[in-house]
Structure 1
Amino acid sequence: MTGRSGDRVGAPFRFDYDSPVLRYGADCVADLADELDRQGFERALVVCGSTVGSTPAVMDPVRSGLGDKLADVFDGTTPEKRLSTALDARDAYREHDADVLVSLGGGSSLDVAKAVSVLAAGGHARDAAAQEFAETGTLSADGDLDPIVAVPTTLAGADLSVVAGLNAHPDSGLVDEAVSGGLSDRRLMPRAVCYDPALVATTPRDVLAGSAMNGFDKGIETLYAANATPVTDATAARGLGLFADGLRELGRGDVTVDTLEPVLEGLLLVQYGISRPDETTLSVIHAFGHGLTDGYAVQQGAAHAVVAPHVLRHLFAEVDGRRDLLADALGVGTADDPAEAVVEAVADVRDALGLPDSLEDVAGPEPDDFPAVAETVVEDAFAANAPRGLDLTTDDVEAILRAAY
């Protein structure tokens, strides 16, 4: 591919990444106790939401896989990812003398588990944790953090990550006003991630579809990000091909192990190396996702589904955006217009999943809100990782939002 537009062969790069142990395969949760034993862990607290915690098709294989290493289950996580929830889970972690957290479910459970890891290591009292979070928007801890093993049941791709979102609300009694923040620390990378198609197949189709668009866009952005590397090029390109074909099949057929196998392999690959110490390959689509969900009821996967084609069309009008590499990865490399072919391929995946294609159809901002949303998008940390040469302005964002409405 040397000499093609957007190619970076020969460009200097630095790739710093601590990969977890990756376990993949149908029914691989049966080996959870084996993985914990290999890593020297004895007592696991499972951290999940109430729906997962009350679903035998999910919990029974996990309980069986952990065996006598299961200390207890904390099933109180919510999509709001509250500091109060993390503090309650930390207390349960201590009460049961656990030495490893097993996050089970979607990204919110993993984020809460990461906050538990920091809170357990830092020895934060509740009031002290609330004060620090209110003042700084984050939490600190010295030394080693308590370990996490992730078992995802959705397709959002939050697993291979060193960051976590966290929020606090006055109704918890911990803070006087709402605080939105998060954690970022290389020690937050899980020690192991277990990708089990049989377990993910228990998740309802609508949940999988929404989360899938978020995970899929991670691969898209990783290829055009300003800090892309040959390592992430390889994993994201291969992952996108598996992901795109697999998601179309998932949209057409039943949610089965067979349909999920290529999807989960694609998810694993597009995540590899995207969340690194001090940097990430997430970019403008994810910045839009944050802007559209900040204060609005729209689910992030739905937000991605609506805006991704419009963001890409704007991006390709301004810069190369490595359109050839993206087109090859998505199986449309022979198209006369690779940029438009990429946009159409992304829209095709969205449509195959039955996701919305208009902001008017989701519980998001109205046109009068677009200026405020645009400010949030351009100020988002991920926007700084836009493709080289793309200077995203609030006027640009508003135009994209109007086109998506």
Structure 2
Amino acid sequence: MSAEPDLRIRHLSPAFRTFCGEGALDALPRELTRVGARRAVIICIPAVAAHAEAMGRVHEVLGERLVGQFDGVEEHSPLPSVERARAFLADHEADAVIAVGGGSSVVTARAATILLGEDRDVRQLCTRRESGRLVSPKLSAPKLPQWVVPSSPTTAYAKAGAAVLDPETGERLALYDPKSRAQGVVLDAGMALTAPPRLSWSAALNIFSMAVEGLQSRRVDPLADALLTHALRTVVTWLPQVLKDPDQAAPRLQLMLAAIMSGQGSDHSGGGLAQALSHAIGPRSSAPNGVVEALLLPHAMRFNANVVPDRLAAVAGYLGLADRSADGVIAEVERLLEVFEVPRRLQDIGVARESLAEVVAHAMDDWAITAGPRPPEEQDVRDLITGTW
């Protein structure tokens, strides 16, 4: 008879409000009133700003509370653009932030809010290695309240961290502050349709990968597992529909809801090896981070298989597989990734072989690498990256 699982858990659910569907945008002014905010600033990417109809509806509901729009967000949230967003918030005396767009908008808004509140150099605020350990400094200053109006699905909605790219060194500087977590998300059908279908597709691959890695955690948390499991099933059901029916909002809204579940669930399970490696590889590739993470996922699963066979068997059950062996569930994930049209090799997405050593070094300093069920040594990462290339 198997032993009973240890159910001593600590599961804290941060306050987070979700509005979805017709009339969802009408929640924004009520939310601002709730926190007493009167000077909201939008932070978005230029491509979203160019959608006059969708952005016009956001402007209309915000009314005179909207005091400015920063549309200088860049892919991977490079530090110079984050600094410009911080200055924009300060110049407009913002008391609330609305991130509109995808992951880069969300991360840039969060990072700019942290830099504004702390008023210190980013390297004094970011996670760093001290005596062989990764340490995140406590950031105590108040932060502006934020909301997200997404154009694509991303697990970043629900997170409290932000990683910005230092273009001079190639490093990802990770900032973490629970006070910078968004108050909530507003899922609007019109805004969801502004994203190119391939962008929604690539973003959803991050949801899938994060759910699968979260479900391999050594932590036993049925509440987190429930969120991750439904996120996984939602992606499997709805992701193919995004490319088949690009003019339909329903598949995109379903994936946005899955993004919330995967983001919240993985807050409790932790990240994983594929996530950490994708952070290091993404800026050195021609593919979005979601594609990179999905490409790496089966390789990370094989690396972890011997230490979490029971967790992989559970993933097989969630996917409805008769074969619950590690090989069986990894083969099914590979089949799904083929259905999702994910490339198989790093060289297929523009990663240069000479950049692999730099990737390994940066991955070892990524916070997510500490959360996997089998923390890798540097040689393990080097072997995995080389084998995937």
1:100 aligns with 2:96: yes
Gaps of 5+ in 1: 171-176
Corresponding letter in the other structure for 2:340: L
1:383 aligns with 2:340: no
Q: Which one is further off, 194-203 or 206-215? A: 194-203
* Matched-pair contact (CA < 8 Å) for 1:154–1:211: yes
Matches for 1:126-165 after TM superposition, within 5 Å: 129=121, 132=124, 142-165=140-163
Displacement of 1:191 after TM fit? 1.2
SS in structure 1 of the partner of residue 156 of structure 2: coil
- The equivalent of 2:207 in structure 1 is 215
- The equivalent of 1:307 in structure 2 is 296
* Matched-pair contact (CA < 8 Å) for 1:27–1:197: no
Displacement of 1:255 after TM fit? 4.4
SS in structure 2 of the partner of residue 282 of structure 1: coil
The structure-2 alpha-carbon separation of the partners of 1:336 and 1:34, relative to structure 1 and needing over 3 Å to count, comes to: same
Distance 1:160 1:120 in 2: 20
Displacement of 1:233 after TM fit? 0.9
Q: Which one is further off, 343-352 or 14-23? A: 343-352
Displacement of 1:45 after TM fit? 0.2
- The equivalent of 1:190 in structure 2 is 182
Distance 2:170 2:358 in 1: 18
SS in structure 1 of the partner of residue 157 of structure 2: coil
- State the Cα deviation string for residues 54-90 of structure 1 (Å, max 9, x = none): 1224312322232332222110111142333233323
Distance 1:160 1:134 in 2: 19
The structure-2 alpha-carbon separation of the partners of 1:130 and 1:119, relative to structure 1 and needing over 3 Å to count, comes to: closer
- The equivalent of 2:235 in structure 1 is 243
- The equivalent of 2:315 in structure 1 is 326
- The equivalent of 1:292 in structure 2 is 281
Corresponding letter in the other structure for 2:188: D
* Matched-pair contact (CA < 8 Å) for 1:49–1:75: yes
1:41 aligns with 2:17: no
- State the Cα deviation string for residues 360-394 of structure 1 (Å, max 9, x = none): 2111142x55455344434432222112xx35334
- The equivalent of 1:362 in structure 2 is 349
- The equivalent of 1:400 in structure 2 is 384
Distance 1:135 1:257 in 2: 38
* Matched-pair contact (CA < 8 Å) for 1:248–1:349: no
Distance 1:236 1:324 in 2: 15
Distance 1:314 1:131 in 2: 32
* Matched-pair contact (CA < 8 Å) for 2:126–2:174: no
SS in structure 1 of the partner of residue 155 of structure 2: coil
Displacement of 1:33 after TM fit? 1.6
Distance 2:20 2:142 in 1: 27
The structure-2 alpha-carbon separation of the partners of 1:167 and 1:54, relative to structure 1 and needing over 3 Å to count, comes to: same
The structure-2 alpha-carbon separation of the partners of 1:228 and 1:19, relative to structure 1 and needing over 3 Å to count, comes to: farther
Distance 1:339 1:235 in 2: 22
SS in structure 1 of the partner of residue 42 of structure 2: strand
Distance 1:100 1:338 in 2: 49
- The equivalent of 1:340 in structure 2 is 327
The structure-2 alpha-carbon separation of the partners of 1:180 and 1:380, relative to structure 1 and needing over 3 Å to count, comes to: closer
- The equivalent of 2:6 in structure 1 is 10
- State the Cα deviation string for residues 107-151 of structure 1 (Å, max 9, x = none): 2211221222223323x3xxx636746997999854321111112
SS in structure 1 of the partner of residue 18 of structure 2: strand
- The equivalent of 1:63 in structure 2 is 59
Displacement of 1:50 after TM fit? 1.2
Distance 1:36 1:47 in 2: 16
- The equivalent of 1:174 in structure 2 is none
1:351 aligns with 2:338: yes
Match of 2:359 among 364, 373, 382: 373
Q: Which one is further off, 353-362 or 155-164? A: 353-362
Distance 1:205 1:43 in 2: 33
Gaps of 5+ in 2: 130-135
1:86 aligns with 2:82: yes
Corresponding letter in the other structure for 2:146: I
Displacement of 1:106 after TM fit? 1.5
Displacement of 1:179 after TM fit? 5.7
Distance 1:393 1:238 in 2: 32
Distance 2:4 2:82 in 1: 42
- The equivalent of 2:260 in structure 1 is 268
Distance 2:171 2:215 in 1: 33
SS in structure 2 of the partner of residue 272 of structure 1: helix
Q: Which one is further off, 378-387 or 235-244? A: 378-387
SS in structure 2 of the partner of residue 193 of structure 1: strand
Displacement of 1:329 after TM fit? 2.4
Corresponding letter in the other structure for 1:344: A
* Matched-pair contact (CA < 8 Å) for 2:207–2:232: no
Displacement of 1:338 after TM fit? 4.3
SS in structure 2 of the partner of residue 155 of structure 1: coil
Displacement of 1:26 after TM fit? 4.5
Displacement of 1:358 after TM fit? 2.0
Corresponding letter in the other structure for 1:249: Q
The structure-2 alpha-carbon separation of the partners of 1:352 and 1:140, relative to structure 1 and needing over 3 Å to count, comes to: same
Corresponding letter in the other structure for 1:400: L
Corresponding letter in the other structure for 1:373: V
Distance 1:378 1:362 in 2: 22
Q: Normalising by the residue count of structure 2, what TM-score does the alignment of the two structures yield? A: 0.87
SS in structure 2 of the partner of residue 382 of structure 1: helix
Q: Normalising by the residue count of structure 1, what TM-score does the alignment of the two structures yield? A: 0.83
Distance 1:355 1:223 in 2: 21
Count matched residues: 383
Corresponding letter in the other structure for 1:218: M
* Matched-pair contact (CA < 8 Å) for 1:226–1:385: no
